[in-house]
Every structure is written in structure tokens, then in C-alpha cells.
Structure 1
Amino acid sequence: MQQKSERRSNRDRTDATRADLIAAARQLFTEKSYAETGTPEIVARAGVTRGALYHHFKDKQALFWAVAEQEAEAVAAEIERATPPDAQSPRDALLAGSDAYLDAMRAPGRTRLLLLDGPAVLGRAGMDEIDKRHGNRTLREGLVAAMRSGTMRKLPADALTSLLAAAFDRAALAIDAGESPRDCRAVLAALIDGLFENNRPSSQQPRIRA
């Protein structure tokens, strides 16, 4: 029993150290950018040794990957909370997911981490791998559900997911740069509604949030 308790305690300390490193790195990457942040600053901010950093992560890039993964997971969680299964029509779920994505991306530093530094540090293939596990996964599931319901026109799911996700990312970047969130939401709503245009009554207008 004591050995189990000791193993649990060691694992808890290990998990806590890893979490501290990821949190410290996120703070510094958003404050200064990935390129301007050094590993000595990260370990000092986390309150751990340099050896602890390299015990958990191969290098700074691997630590950035963990930060990006955690941020992408948080975004996907926000989208899933906004689109509970069977609570909305497929169209409304996609619109709610679009709004939730833009809201989630307004967390300080998140747009820069995922949409600017992410592709530069990990490459487009690396970020695509992360996206497929998180945000793009939820989007693809919503699109496939809509097509299976018969309310949305049938299109290649992978290509549709990729191109619509690119529009969402561009909107998040535009909002971060100071463009009108309302305008960006209106355009995304129109894009989504266009996929349902053969099934939507002409009197039903896209929902636009401020």
C-alpha cells in the first residue's frame, strides 16, 4: 500500500512539473513569442531545473507542441460545450460551433499561438496533425452529421472541413487584428447557410451575433 502511495505521489509530482512547464511556456510564448523565449526563462518562470525541462520535453519545440496541443484541446472543448449532441439542428449546431470557435480564439495569445507561431514552429503538417485531433475533428463531425441528415448538400467531407476551417482561422486572425467580429460572424454564417440553401426557406435569415 505504501509503495502504491509513493508511486502515486511521484506521478503527481511529475504531472505537476509538466503542467508548470507548459503553463510557464504558454505565458512566455504569448508575452514574447516563441522565437524570443529562451529555455532558461521558461524553467525560471516554472520554478524547476533545466534538467526537469529536458526530462519531460526533448527541446523547446517539443514543449511548444505540448502548449499548442493543450490550446487546441481547449478550443475543441468550447465548441463541444456549445454543440451538445441532439440539442440542435445540424445547421444550428454548425452556427453555434462557429460562434464558439471565434469566442474561444479570443483568449489572450491563443490566435498567435495556434495560427501564427504554430505553423511557423511545427510546420503546416504538424499543426494539421493537432487540428485533426481537436478543432477540425469537431467540425468534420458536425459537417458529416449535417450531410447524413439530408439537410445539407453532400460534399467531400475532408476537403469541406479543410476549407471551412481555413475560413474560420482567417476570421479569427482578422478579429485579432481589429476587424469587426460582427462582420466576420456574418460572413461565416452566410458560408454555412450556403451549404443548406437548397433546404432553407427564403424567409429564414442567417443568425448574426455581435
Structure 2
Amino acid sequence: MKTHGVRAQQREQTRQALLRESRRLFAARGYGAVSLSEIVSEAGVTKGALYHLFESKAELFRAVLEQVQQEVAETVARTADVHDDLWTRLTAGCQAFLTASTAPDIQRIMLIDGPAVLGWNEWRAMDEAASARHLADALTELIEEGTIAAQPVAPLTHLLSGAMNEAALWLAQSDDPADLPATQAALVQILQALRNR
């Protein structure tokens, strides 16, 4: 029984080393420029150990992407949840997403390589599970309390999520530090337009 526990612990340590090193390499150079040989070498494990945990490089990338999306979602939720007012929660959460997703490593993995490696449908499903669901919940609550006019939540969620993802991609290409505050101000204007007077 003790041996099983040791093996499970070693397996988890190997998995964490693979995730850590592949994330670092994918963020620095992009998915296409990183080989499995390089990942296992950096992680200090064998290819056999990698294939025992992940069927392919794409599956390893998917696990890294899931980790990145979860971290961004947790940052957004933590930022939003300190506010009692539902409207402030929504705006703070949207701003937190925009800020978090402008980190170069997050952009590369989550917004650039994610859809390219996994395909748009799988990436979209993962994005929805990680953060779009929280946005939909916030919008639903605001509609229920009358702050936002009654309307279908799904299209509104996709429009806002798409706008924020596109803004984060645009910011990734920008060298102007004034672009982030300008984008945040534009986001406030878009959100304000939804609010009932």
C-alpha cells in the first residue's frame, strides 16, 4: 500500500515537472518551436514517463492551457469577489481579465497557440469552462436585478468575451504602454452602454 502512495507521488511530481517546463518553453518560443525531446530533457524525465502521462505533445499543451486558463479565471474571480455590488463585480472582473491576459506568456499560450493547436471549437469550449461561464453568471445576475435590460445571455457573453480576447491579442502586438489604460477605458464605455439608466 505504501509503494502505491510513493508511486502516485512520483507520478504527480513528474507531471508537475512536465507542466512547469513545457509551460516555460511554450511561453518563451511557442508550441511549434518546442520539441518533446527538449521538454523531457528540461523536466529531467524520460520520453516514456511523458507518454505514460500524456498521449502527445498536443495533450501536454492542452493540460498547460487548462492550467493557464484556470489561473486567469481565479485571478478574475478573486478580483471581482471583493466587491459586494454586482455591477462593480462585473466591471472589476472584466478589467482583471484584460490585465491578466496581457502578460506575454499568458497571451502566447492562451490566445495565440491555444486556438491554433487545439482548434477553435475545443479552445472555445475550454475558454467557456474556465471564464466565460463566470461572465455569463455575472450578466445573468445583473439582468435579474434589472441593472442590464432583459436579453438572451449567451450572445452577450460571447460578444463581450470575444471583444476582450481580441483586445488582449491586440495589446500583445502593441509597444505603447498607453494602450492598456486606453483599452480599459474603452471597455468601461462598452459595459456602461449595457447599463439601464
Match of 2:89 among 78, 88, 93: 93
Find the counterpart in structure 2 of residue 31 from structure 1: 28
Find the counterpart in structure 2 of residue 194 from structure 1: 193
Find the counterpart in structure 2 of residue 177 from structure 1: 173
Q: Which runs of 5+ in 1 are unaligned?
A: 200-210
2:65 touches 2:109 (CA, 8 Å); kept in 1?
A: yes
Tell me, in whole angstroms, the C-alpha distance in 1 between the residues paired with 2:41 and 2:58.
Answer: 18
CA deviation map 1:15-50 (0-9, x unaligned): 111111111111111111101111000000111000
2:104 touches 2:172 (CA, 8 Å); kept in 1?
A: no
Write the letter of the residue equivalent to 2:84.
Q
Tell me, in whole angstroms, the C-alpha distance in 1 between the residues paired with 2:16 and 2:104.
Answer: 19
Match of 2:56 among 56, 59, 83: 59
Corresponding pairs, count: 194
1:111 touches 1:173 (CA, 8 Å); kept in 2?
A: yes
Match of 1:105 among 101, 108, 113: 101
Write the letter of the residue equivalent to 1:109.
D
Write the letter of the residue equivalent to 1:105.
S
What is the CA distance between 1:11 and its match in structure 2? 1.4
| TM-score when normalising by structure 1 | 0.88
Write the letter of the residue equivalent to 1:189.
V
Find the counterpart in structure 2 of residue 144 from structure 1: 140
1:94-133 alignment to 2 at 5 Å?
A: 94-133=90-129
**Which has the larger helix fraction?**
2
CA deviation map 1:87-146 (0-9, x unaligned): 332221111001111221133411111111111100111111111211111111111111
Tell me, in whole angstroms, the C-alpha distance in 2 between the residues paired with 1:109 and 1:71.
Answer: 9
1:91 touches 1:193 (CA, 8 Å); kept in 2?
A: no
| TM-score when normalising by structure 2 | 0.94
Find the counterpart in structure 2 of residue 207 from structure 1: none
Q: Which runs of 5+ in 2 are unaligned?
A: none
Spell out structure 1 runs of 4+ moving beyond 3 A. Answer: none
Greater Cα shift, 6-15 or 20-29 = 6-15
Give the percent of matched residue pairs that are identical in Structure 1 and Structure 2.
34
